[in-house]
């Protein structure tokens, strides 16, 4: 049934894609629609030795991320990708703690991804490429799946050009799957979907696809369907090429089975394959004009290459109206090579992405529009590019050997060690000591970094996550051109903390050492915050959840060498917030004190009011949103009056002051949220001696005065962090769990979802979405007592985070350990009734 050919045969017939090479297809540009002869070969691995990935041409680059809910198989899939590409010689295992991208001791100990890791490999292998062809360079970011590390995902997504979203076929679309999908949607990142773990009991390809359509609101384009042998998952059926792919579970090598063999051994499967292909072509023809023309010309006998081009066109805009779907079981080495083919076939290169958009003052412009703002020649043309390079700092790492590393993605031009880069966020020039190519925990020195590439720099003293680096022609001592000095790429929003831990240093020296470590830690991870009480000298470390703070504590103790015996560490608790219940009156404040020996003065007026949904509209003008607060700055003018200051610089100073003023409310010293801040700064409020500190302090004290008024008049409420929960459990335990959530936890059950429930929201009629039946839908499977399927339910709702932080242990006693609990941020809600009285009693 199978014929194996030597590796050099792959080279003779290869056309740049592994599957196409295995099939022996002719030139991908061919328009012939005649039946093709199929060759079967087993892929022979070759090992990658070329480290010059940073020199790849931009059209041959794929910057992709792996995104999913925790435990969906991201790291396992990444390990198989590295192995099959020849990047590694051995397959790492999460349970064994020897994976390439999870290299932190705590990651290997807990078996989860904590920080994003970058690794580079090439695909397809050179052994299947024709002479003169080059493989694509894949820069892959393996991201965390736990909701506590969602900021780690959010800061990586803007620098990606494509993403692979992985679904656990047993659990389907989970809460964090929806969240990372939405984040990718906001960045308009094209995606492919990989339905994983199809070898597990309870796996359902059909349910996973229907949930993807209804909950992710995307039309699934089935490029593969699972290949079942009774109840055993043995491979996948390639719908486009109409062949079967069987995999060696030990080595992952694949063999191709032609459709006539499939039809002979399993006519029902062959019929499903033809149905799936027909349905795929129909959807493509309805939505792609080029394929529709070919469909009519060929009477439905559409060429494989045309199908793939149509899919690429439909997903290119990143809106995810359509998503190609692939199937597999990464742990058993099933389906990974075709998934790699999909990465290079369907996901775009940097040159295929939309023009980079930047914030310039109150407007958003493309890079091309920005270039037109440069100095013009007498003929009205730009005689020289006013900007030589633009890069985005998306991560900062404090490496024990290399020191502080700033990870960058270059969007335009090139950077070298001699480049003087203007940091438009902190308004200063910086210069790198070294430029390195990142490969998990290893770094390789390189001379330069060019458009579309990702790398790291040492020596940047001020760069933080979200900063924009720009190089200009001419000498850096001249300063940044006025029109470009505030230009920046939109930074990811840092979510508000929901949990905290107190640290009480025993000595002043210990306190200073811990504060220095906290400063460095918060530079690495901006979602880590800390404050210090000037009276008690107590330090408060805040983060995104219990696991997030546990990791932060471990990093303080191990990486920053903080002796645990030098301070008293409290228990992790939830972070409450405060909010306004009614608007305040307008408060003016004049700051007239020396700052660091420099005299000066500035004043401003502030009005606070509860935030409403309509306040989002002001973000289009001159406002920013920080941790649930909208801060609007206005500069009123009288007639032809001109402002005696740079409005953009002063606006940023006023915003910083307002943010600082909202850091502590009048009721519990907790951060203030859901507030709309109106700051008014007139020309008469400005004094020529004023520094940035004077302006910021004027806003800070004005905000504090307004909050004090609200506190004195009992117009401040308490906000409590809520969490969305999803409990996957057996049907027999569901009633007791629902009762406990509602009666003892202050929560609310919103939905109980049965395995076969088909949601219809999102405008997609699931009756029109074709998916083959799962094996246990057949009578034969149901008669097999060894494969009986336990009825599982999803209980979905919301509850106070404080009640759910340690709920997993309580659930264990109710389910016998046969459950999964997922928590996802649910925002803050006003505390009322008995819970408010209990908080007041606690002080």
Tell me, what's the pLDDT at 44? 46
Instruction: Note whether residue 375 is domain-resident.
Output: no
User: Does residue 219 share a domain with residue 199?
Assistant: yes
What is the chain's mean pLDDT, rounded?
83
Instruction: Note whether residue 567 is domain-resident.
Output: yes
User: Does residue 588 share a domain with residue 561?
Assistant: no
Decide which of 548, 571, 594 is a domain's last residue: 571
User: What tokens appear for 420 in the block?
Assistant: 């003087």
Q: What is the Cα–Cα distance from 655 to 606, expressed in whole angstroms?
A: 11
Q: What is the Cα–Cα distance from 319 to 315, expressed in whole angstroms?
A: 7
Instruction: Note whether residue 775 is domain-resident.
Output: yes
User: Does residue 744 share a domain with residue 710?
Assistant: no
Using one digit for the tens of pLDDT, what is the confidence trace for 30-56? 333 333 333 333 444 544 444 556 678
Least-confidence region, from 332-346, 671-685, 749-763? 749-763
**Confidence label for 763 from pLDDT (cuts 50, 70 and 90):** low
Q: What is the Cα–Cα distance from 502 to 525, expressed in whole angstroms?
A: 18
Tell me, what's the pLDDT at 779? 42
Domain with 265 in it: 7-30+38-352
Q: Residues of the chain with pLDDT > 70: what percent?
A: 85
Instruction: Note whether residue 656 is domain-resident.
Output: yes
User: Does residue 802 share a domain with residue 679?
Assistant: no
In 3-state terms, the chain is what percent helix, strand and coil (to 5)?
35, 30, 40
Q: In this structure, are residues 75 and 94 in contact, taking their beta carbons and an 8 Å threshold?
A: yes
Cis bond leading into 740, ω under 30°?
no
In the predicted model, is pLDDT for residue 172 greater than 90? no
The count of other CB atoms within 10 Å of the CB of residue 538 is: 17
User: What tokens appear for 399 in the block?
Assistant: 């490496």
User: Does residue 750 share a domain with residue 706?
Assistant: no
User: Does residue 679 share a domain with residue 560?
Assistant: no
Tell me, what's the pLDDT at 290? 93
Torsion of CA 691, 695, 697, 699, to 10 degrees: -170
The CATH number that applies at residue 53 is 3.40.50.300
**For the chain, how many structural domains are there in total?**
5
Tell me, what's the pLDDT at 621? 56
The CATH number that applies at residue 816 is 3.30.70.240
The CATH number that applies at residue 434 is 2.40.30.10
User: Does residue 362 share a domain with residue 340?
Assistant: no
The CATH number that applies at residue 536 is 3.30.70.870
In the predicted model, is pLDDT for residue 786 greater than 50? no
Identify which of 184-198, 518-532, 714-728, 791-805 has the greatest average pLDDT.
184-198
3-state SS string for 471-535? ECCCCHHHCCCCCCCCCECCCCCCCCCCEEEEEEECCHHHHHHHHHHHHHHHHHCCCCEEEECCC
Instruction: Note whether residue 483 is domain-resident.
Output: no
51: three-class secondary structure by DSSP: coil
Chain CA centroid to CA 30, Å: 38
Decide which of 655, 690, 714 is a domain's last residue: 714
209: three-class secondary structure by DSSP: helix
User: What tokens appear for 758 in the block?
Assistant: 């088909």
Nearest partner of 208 among 366, 69, 60, 85, judged by Cα: 69
Using one digit for the tens of pLDDT, what is the confidence trace for 446-477? 999 999 999 999 999 989 999 999 999 876 76
Of 113 and 638, more confident: 638
Instruction: Note whether residue 205 is domain-resident.
Output: yes
Instruction: Note whether residue 576 is domain-resident.
Output: no
Decide which of 714, 740, 757 is a domain's last residue: 714
* Section 487-491 average pLDDT: 89
**Confidence label for 360 from pLDDT (cuts 50, 70 and 90):** confident
Using one digit for the tens of pLDDT, what is the confidence trace for 50-106? 455 667 889 999 999 999 888 888 888 998 898 888 888 777 666 556 666 555 566
Write the Ramachandran bin of 511: left for phi over 0, alpha for psi from -120 to 50, otherwise beta. Answer: alpha
User: Does residue 69 share a domain with residue 111?
Assistant: yes
User: Does residue 781 share a domain with residue 708?
Assistant: no
Instruction: Note whether residue 196 is domain-resident.
Output: yes
Using one digit for the tens of pLDDT, what is the confidence trace for 617-632? 555 456 888 888 999 9
Tell me, what's the pLDDT at 783? 39
User: Does residue 237 share a domain with residue 336?
Assistant: yes
User: Does residue 347 share a domain with residue 407?
Assistant: no
Tell me, what's the pLDDT at 761? 47
Pairing of strands 792-800, 748-753: antiparallel
Identify which of 56-60, 129-133, 838-842 has the greatest average pLDDT.
56-60
The CATH number that applies at residue 632 is 3.30.230.10
User: Does residue 833 share a domain with residue 767?
Assistant: yes
């Amino acid at each position: 049934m199978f014929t194996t050919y030597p590796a050099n045969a792959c080279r003779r017939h290869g056309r740049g894609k592994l599957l196409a090479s295995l099939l022996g297809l002719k030139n991908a540009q061919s328009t012939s629609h005649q039946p093709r002869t199929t060759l079967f070969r087993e892929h022979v691995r070759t090992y990658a030795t070329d480290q010059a990935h940073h020199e790849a041409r931009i059209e041959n680059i794929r910057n992709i991320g792996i995104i999913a809910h925790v435990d969906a198989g991201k790291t396992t899939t990444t390990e198989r990708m590295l192995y099959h590409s020849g990047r590694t010689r051995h397959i790492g295992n999460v349970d064994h703690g020897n994976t390439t991208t999870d290299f932190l001791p705590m990651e290997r100990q807990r078996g989860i991804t904590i920080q994003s890791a970058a690794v580079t490999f090439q695909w397809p292998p050179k052994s299947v490429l024709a002479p003169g062809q080059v493989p694509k360079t894949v820069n892959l970011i393996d991201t965390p799946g736990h909701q506590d590390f969602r900021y780690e995902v959010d800061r990586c997504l803007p620098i990606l050009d494509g993403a692979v979203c992985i679904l656990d076929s047993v659990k389907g679309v989970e809460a964090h799957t929806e969240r990372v999908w939405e984040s990718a949607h906001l960045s308009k990142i094209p995606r492919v979907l990989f339905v994983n773990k199809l070898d597990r009991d309870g796996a359902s390809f059909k349910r996973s696809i229907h949930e993807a359509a209804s909950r992710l609101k995307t039309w699934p384009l089935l490029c593969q369907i699972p290949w079942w042998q009774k109840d055993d998952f043995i491979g996948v059926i390639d719908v486009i090429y109409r062949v079967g792919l069987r995999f060696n579970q030990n080595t992952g090598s694949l063999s191709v089975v032609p459709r006539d063999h499939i039809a002979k051994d399993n006519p029902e499967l062959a019929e499903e394959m033809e149905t799936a292909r027909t349905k795929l072509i129909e959807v493509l023809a309805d939505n792609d004009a080029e394929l529709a023309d070919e469909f009519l010309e060929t009477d439905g006998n559409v060429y494989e290459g045309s199908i793939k081009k149509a899919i690429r066109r439909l997903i290119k805009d990143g809106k995810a109206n359509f998503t190609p779907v692939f199937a597999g079981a990464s742990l058993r080495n099933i389906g990974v090579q075709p998934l790699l083919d999909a990465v290079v076939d369907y996901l775009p290169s940097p040159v295929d992405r939309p023009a980079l958009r930047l914030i310039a003052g109150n407007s958003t412009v493309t890079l091309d529009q920005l270039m037109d703002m440069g100095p013009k020649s007498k003929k009205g043309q730009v005689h020289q590019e006013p900007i030589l390079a633009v890069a985005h700092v998306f991560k900062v790492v404090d490496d024990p050997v290399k020191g502080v590393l700033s990870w960058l993605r270059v969007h335009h031009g090139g950077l070298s060690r001699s480049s003087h880069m203007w940091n438009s966020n902190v308004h200063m020039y910086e210069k790198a000591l070294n430029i390195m190519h990142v490969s998990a925990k290893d770094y390789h020195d390189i001379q330069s970094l060019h458009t579309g590439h990702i790398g790291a720099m040492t020596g940047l003293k001020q760069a933080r996550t979200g900063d924009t680096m720009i190089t200009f022609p001419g000498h850096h001592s001249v300063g940044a051109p006025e029109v470009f000095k505030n230009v920046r790429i939109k930074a990811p929003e840092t979510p508000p903390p929901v949990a905290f831990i107190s640290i009480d240093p025993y000595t002043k020296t210990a306190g200073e050492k811990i504060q220095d470590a906290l400063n460095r830690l918060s530079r690495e991870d901006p979602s880590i915050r800390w404050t210090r009480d000037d009276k008690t000298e107590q330090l408060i470390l805040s983060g995104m959840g219990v696991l997030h703070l546990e990791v932060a504590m471990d990093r303080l103790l191990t990486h920053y060498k903080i002796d645990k015996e030098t301070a008293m560490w409290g228990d992790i608790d939830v972070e409450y917030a405060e909010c306004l219940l009614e608007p305040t009156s307008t408060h003016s404040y004049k700051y007239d004190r020396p700052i660091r020996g420099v005299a000066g003065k500035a004043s401003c007026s502030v009005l606070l009011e509860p935030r409403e949904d309509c306040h989002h509209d002001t973000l289009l003008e001159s406002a920013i949103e920080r941790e649930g607060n909208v801060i609007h700055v206005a500069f009123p003018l009288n007639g032809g009056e001109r402002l005696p200051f740079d409005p953009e610089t002063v606006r940023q100073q006023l915003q910083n002051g307002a943010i600082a003023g909202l850091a502590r409310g009048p009721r519990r010293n907790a951060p203030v949220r859901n507030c709309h801040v109106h700051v008014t700064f007139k020309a008469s409020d400005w004094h020529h001696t004023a520094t940035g500190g004077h302006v910021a302090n004027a806003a800070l004290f004005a905000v504090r005065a307004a909050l004090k008024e609200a506190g004195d008049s009992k117009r401040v409420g308490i906000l409590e962090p809520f969490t969305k929960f999803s409990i996957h459990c057996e049907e027999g335990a569901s009633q007791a769990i629902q009762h406990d959530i509602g009666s003892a936890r202050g929560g609310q059950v919103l939905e109980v979802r049965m395995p076969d429930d088909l949601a219809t929201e999102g405008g997609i009629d699931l009756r029109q979405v074709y998916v083959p039946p799962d094996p246990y839908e057949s009578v034969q499977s149901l008669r097999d007592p060894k494969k009986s399927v336990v009825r599982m339910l999803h209980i979905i709702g919301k509850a106070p985070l404080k009640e759910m932080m340690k709920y997993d242990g309580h659930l264990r006693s109710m389910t016998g350990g046969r459950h999964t609990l997922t928590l996802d941020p649910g925002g803050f809600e006003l505390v009322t009734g008995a819970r408010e009285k209990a908080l007041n009693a606690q002080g």
